[in-house]
Amino acid sequence: MRLLEGSTGLVVGVANHRSLAWHIASACAAAGARLVLSYQNERLGENVLRLAADLPDTLTCRCDVSSDADLSELGSFLERQVGGIDFLVHSVAWARREELQGEFLATSREGFREAHDISVYSLVALARMARPLMQARRGGSILTLSFLGSRRVFPGYNVMGAAKASLEASVRYLASDLGPDNIRVNALSAGPLRTLAASGIRGLVRMLELYRERAPLGRSPDPSEVADAALFLLSPLSRGITGEVLHVDGGYHLTGV
């Protein structure tokens, strides 16, 4: 199905072939979208350029989301190169490794600030940057990636749990602001998957075991299942949906014990 034929999208957060952003980008390209992939730094850029070569007509641009100058440069790049965008995928999270172990109580002020700046404020800043580019297309869809640690305690997820709660609240506020521009904002709450970001979380192996034991579907999702749900939220099929957090987690979120 060419659900995104004729559309252009920005995907932020490809680090390597395991990245959820990469799975989503591949699904979007297969659905007919033209893509711009942004990467954090030159080191990761090498991977991203290699991966982008497999997708037709794909542009790349460096952008560290903690830098206002980089965000502004990305906005100018998009305006110059593609004129407008129809969708934006925000697949970015970061916290200091030491904040992802031990007690949440020990979270440092700087660790808390950095995790929220990079993992949450970046969505607000990118949505602001994207607004005129989406207005040029009479609307758009913005998607971010969350995790159930926003609402439940997963030992070791710590400050990232607080950041994901803030991210999900930001989705609702952004959806309210941008609705009149016909811009939708949603989140996918994915079950645990082995990626670079997840490797920083102690207890990932136990989490994967728990999902196998308790999720109604008996597993954490496959990355392609996350990508297909992303395609739905980015495409006109979900045109009546905004401010939503959709779980793609084998149903784990509904379990009590």
List residues near ligand NAD by CB under 6 A: 13-15, 19-21, 40, 44, 64-66, 91-94, 118, 145-147, 190, 192-193, 195-198
Least Å from the CB of residue 2 to ligand NAD: 25
Q: Which of 39, 121, 164, 173 is catalytic?
A: 164
Helix (H, G, I), strand (E, B) or coil at 107: coil
Phi, psi torsion values for 190, nearest 5 degrees: -90, 150
Non-local (6+) Cβ contacts of 60 within 8 A are 36, 37, 38, 39, 45, 48, 49, 52
What is the secondary structure of 125-185 as a DSSP string? Answer: HHHHHHHHHHHTTT-EEEEEEE-GGGTS--TTTHHHHHHHHHHHHHHHHHHHHHGGGTEEE
For residues 86 and 144, the answer to whether their CB atoms sit within 8 Å is: no
Least Å from the CB of residue 28 to ligand NAD: 15
Q: Which of 39, 157, 211, 252 is catalytic?
A: 157
Least Å from the CB of residue 138 to ligand NAD: 28
Q: Which residues of 67-98 are buried (b: 16+ CB within 10 A; e: fewer)?
A: eeebbeebbebbeeebebbbbbbbbbbbbeee
- Structure token digits, residue 226: 């996350």
Nearest to ligand NAD of 181, 228 (CB atom): 228
| Maximum CA extent, the chain | 53
Least Å from the CB of residue 182 to ligand NAD: 25
Q: Is 157 a catalytic residue?
A: yes
Least Å from the CB of residue 255 to ligand NAD: 17
Q: Is 39 a catalytic residue?
A: no
**Could you list the active site residues?**
157, 164
